[in-house]
Amino acid sequence: MSVVTLPRDRRAERYAATRREILDAAWDLVRAQGLGALAMRELGARVGMRAQSLYAYFPSKFAIYDAMFAESNRELLHRMSALASVRDPVEALRERARLFLAFCAEDPGRYQLLFQRTIPGFEPSPEAYALALEVLDNAREALRACGISDAGAVDMWTALTSGLAAQQIANEPGGDRWVRLTDEATDMFLAHQALAKKEETP
């Protein structure tokens, strides 16, 4: 039985490779100069193109931010899915929190794009935002495994973890002063939730 080999779409491959090159250059600029410093002219120069030519691959600068937003959430989801399965839900929540804090602290520009409104007027597309909602759903699942499902508790958890990340990035970029507090903060949160649930019980 002969195997049929489909012809390669070289044009599509070149298009995808150029988009990847543009995104890589955009990340380099953001990491060197800050998220708000991304300029089409400088980006084009980095990839050997005129600024106008970039629009054949991304219709706007916001479209570049959107692609960066989507791939960042995909990377976070990928890392979460690679976590080892842990039977103890509390330890699983601690591990998830450690991973999240490390992910945020390792790339301040990426953290700002995902969790702060740093770019005036930018809103992720529905497709990109769906990935962010998937990240949030993963957090909800980890909390539910610990017996926590209240919407206010979920809000508190996201504020706690993202707040630690913000403190780390703002006050000691590249360090771990606030990242080291992850387990303690997780245990304090869980203790508070257990006490609140006990007080609610008649």
Residue 2: pLDDT band (50, 70, 90) is low
Closest CA to 109 of 157, 43, 165, 55: 165
| Cα maximum dimension of the chain | 73
C-alpha dist (Å) from residue 181 to 16, 134, 149, 189: 41, 25, 24, 12
Q: pTM for this one?
A: 0.90
CA atoms within 13 A on the CB side of 170: 8
List pLDDT tens digits, range 155-197.
999 999 999 999 999 999 999 999 999 999 999 999 999 988 8
Average pLDDT over residues 48-65: 95
List pLDDT tens digits, range 68-116.
999 999 999 999 998 878 789 999 999 999 999 999 999 999 999 999 9
Backbone dihedral angles phi then psi of residue 22, each to the nearest 5 degrees: -65, -45
CA distance 167 to 75: 22
